């Protein structure tokens, strides 16, 4: 990494927090931005903090580390706890690691290196993919895609609506393959025939979404929000 991993520490017990700060200070690849002993205070300040990783206890008064982690969308999390039975819940939240107290230097360093690797992989993810179109292979940047819909003439093909008003026809590709290529947090399948970029949402209801695209008559394009995709759509809007 060109720069250090920025880290927040959280433990309601001051001795444990002090030890964590000492151990983190011995790992050159990370920088401790701030340490908290109150999870509520951390949550009230988190929008103003620039950090990549949160190392947090689980059992704390007011709010648990598990609940707190679910509010840290896009951030890496390492749990420290005196209780082994939280492991399954921790990994359900896709935590980087789970350290049973007392925290040891070598064990923390191992977890930090896992976090650094995950962070590096996340940063290096390409900003485009190369689908086959009706005119040959294209370089298609994710940021330009607003909507992907099943083509009218052949359902095996997909029409991509781009941010400049143009369209691109992808040949013989299914939605499952497309979703594996697209950044998960930026796109959502909204019905059987369409994938929508979250940034293309203008307004929505339980049944439909008004998008930032326009129809040929100038009216905003509206897509159906199917019941089976509503929960996922709502979650991604709140990320």
pTM over 0.95: no
pLDDT attached to residue 2: 53
Classify strands 158-162 and 97-100 as parallel, antiparallel or unpaired.
unpaired
List the domains of the chain with CATH numbers.
Answer: 5-123 (3.40.50.2300), 128-237 (2.40.50.1020)
pLDDT attached to residue 89: 76
Per-residue pLDDT tens for 132-173?
999 999 999 999 999 999 999 999 999 999 999 999 999 999
pLDDT by residue, tens only, the chain of 239 residues? 557 899 999 999 999 999 999 999 999 999 999 999 999 999 999 888 989 999 999 999 989 999 998 888 779 999 998 888 777 777 777 889 999 999 999 999 999 999 998 888 776 567 889 999 999 999 999 999 999 999 999 999 999 999 999 999 999 999 999 998 898 889 999 999 999 999 999 999 999 999 999 998 999 999 999 999 999 999 888 76
């Amino acid at each position: 990494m060109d720069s250090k991993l920025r880290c927040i520490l959280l433990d309601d017990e001051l001795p444990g927090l002090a030890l964590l700060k000492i151990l983190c200070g011995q790992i050159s690849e990370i920088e401790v931005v701030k340490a908290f002993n109150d999870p509520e205070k951390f949550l009230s300040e988190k929008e103003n903090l620039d950090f990549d990783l949160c190392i947090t206890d689980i059992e704390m008064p007011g709010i648990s580390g598990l609940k707190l982690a679910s509010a840290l969308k896009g951030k890496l999390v390492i749990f420290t706890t005196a209780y082994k039975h939280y492991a399954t819940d921790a990994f359900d939240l896709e935590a980087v690691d789970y350290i049973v107290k007392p925290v040891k230097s070598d064990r923390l360093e191992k977890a930090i290196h896992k976090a650094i690797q995950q962070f590096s992989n996340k940063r290096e993810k390409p900003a485009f993919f190369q689908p086959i179109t009706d005119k040959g292979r294209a370089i298609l940047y994710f940021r330009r895609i607003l909507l992907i819909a099943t083509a009218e003439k052949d359902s095996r093909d997909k029409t991509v609506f781009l941010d400049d008003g143009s369209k691109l026809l992808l040949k013989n590709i299914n939605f499952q393959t497309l979703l594996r290529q697209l950044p998960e947090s930026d796109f959502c399948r909204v019905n059987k025939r369409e994938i929508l970029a979250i940034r293309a949402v203008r307004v929505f209801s339980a049944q439909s979404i008004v998008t930032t695209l326009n129809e040929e008559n100038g009216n905003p394009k509206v897509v159906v929000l199917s019941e089976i995709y509503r929960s996922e759509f709502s979650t991604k809007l709140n990320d």
